[in-house]
Amino acid sequence: MTDQPITAVLTRRDGSWHPSPYAAGPFGGLHGGVIAAGLLAAMAELPAVAGDPAVLNVQLLRAPKLAPFSIEAAQIRSGRRSSSAEATLTQDGREMARATAMFASPAQLTDIDVPSIDPIDTAQLSAPEEKRIGTGPWSLGGDWFWSAFEVRLDADGGFWFRPRIPVIEGASAAATVVAIADWSSGLFRPDRMGPRRIAAWPNAELSVHLARPAAQIDPRGWFGVSGASAWNGLGWGYTGATLRDSEKTLARSAQACILTPAESTT
C-alpha cells in the first residue's frame, strides 16, 4: 500500500493489480466481488474480444490476501456474434480464482428490448438500520468493500449501492455490476443477519448474466439488488438475485453456498 490518495478500489500498475483497503472482504482478504470485477476487466481488454459481457462465471478457489496479484487472460473463441475468454488470478505463485466470460457483439433487433420496470425514486431510499447493518453485514470497524459505496434500502427490502469511488478505474460499468452481484448471498441469507446466524460459507463461485450494454449503464449511478436464498440441511444451497438501475433490469446472478456451522467460524 502507498500513501497516495485512493482513486479506485482496484488499480493496475507495474504489471500487477493492487487492491486498496476498500477491496477487503468481511474476513480480511480480497472481496469476491472485487475478484470478479478484476477478472472480467482483464478479459474485456483482450484485443480480439468484441462486444459487451453477456455471461461471467467465476470459481473462487482460494482466499487471496489483501495484497498485489496477477491476472492472465486469453481468448478461447471468436465468432461473428459472440466471443469467449478465460482468466486466472494468481498470488504468490498459486492459482486463487479463475473465470470464463462470453461477450456479445451487437445486432439491431428493433422488436426486442429489456423491459422497463417501475422507476425508483432514489430520494425515497432509506439508510440501513445501524443496529442491523452497521458498516456492513459483518461490521469490521474499518474500511472495506462496503465502505466504497453509499448504501440505501428500498421499501421492498432491496439494497441500493452507489459507488463512492470506481471499483476499477477505466473499466466498464459491467465490472461494477458483477462486483455488486457478489453481495447477494450475504444480504439475502435466510437468517437475514439476525441475532442467531445459522451458518457461514466460504465464497465459492459466482455466475452473472448481463442484459444491458455497458454504455447504457451509469457507472456512478445507483445499482439495486434484490434476491432470495435457499439452503438445505445437508450443507449447501444457492442465492438468486436481480440487479437493476433506476429504469431497467441489468443482470441476474446465481451463487452456490457451501455451508459450514456458524460457530466454527467465530
Q: Give the pLDDT confidence of 215-228 residue by residue, as tens digits.
A: 889 999 999 999 99
Tens of pLDDT, residues 160-207: 999 999 999 999 999 999 999 999 988 888 876 555 667 777 789 999
Judge whether 29 lies within some domain: yes
Judge whether 116 lies within some domain: no
For residue 78 the three cell numbers come to 471468436
**Predicted pLDDT of residue 233:** 85
Tell me the pLDDT of the chain averaged across its residues: 86
The CB density around residue 235, as the number of other CB atoms within 10 Å, is 13
Q: What is the pTM of this model?
A: 0.89
Judge whether 64 lies within some domain: yes
Judge whether 1 lies within some domain: no
**Considering its fold, how many domains does the chain have in total?**
1
User: What CA–CA distances, in Å, run from 183 to 39, 96, 241, 242?
Assistant: 17, 19, 10, 12
Which CATH number do you get for residue 175?
2.40.160.210
| Residue span of the structural domain in which 146 resides | 10-106+122-265
Judge whether 68 lies within some domain: yes
Judge whether 247 lies within some domain: yes
Measured distance CA(138)–CA(205) in Å, rounded: 20
Measured distance CA(137)–CA(234) in Å, rounded: 24
Judge whether 94 lies within some domain: yes
Tens of pLDDT, residues 49-82: 989 999 999 999 999 999 999 999 999 998 888 9
Judge whether 57 lies within some domain: yes
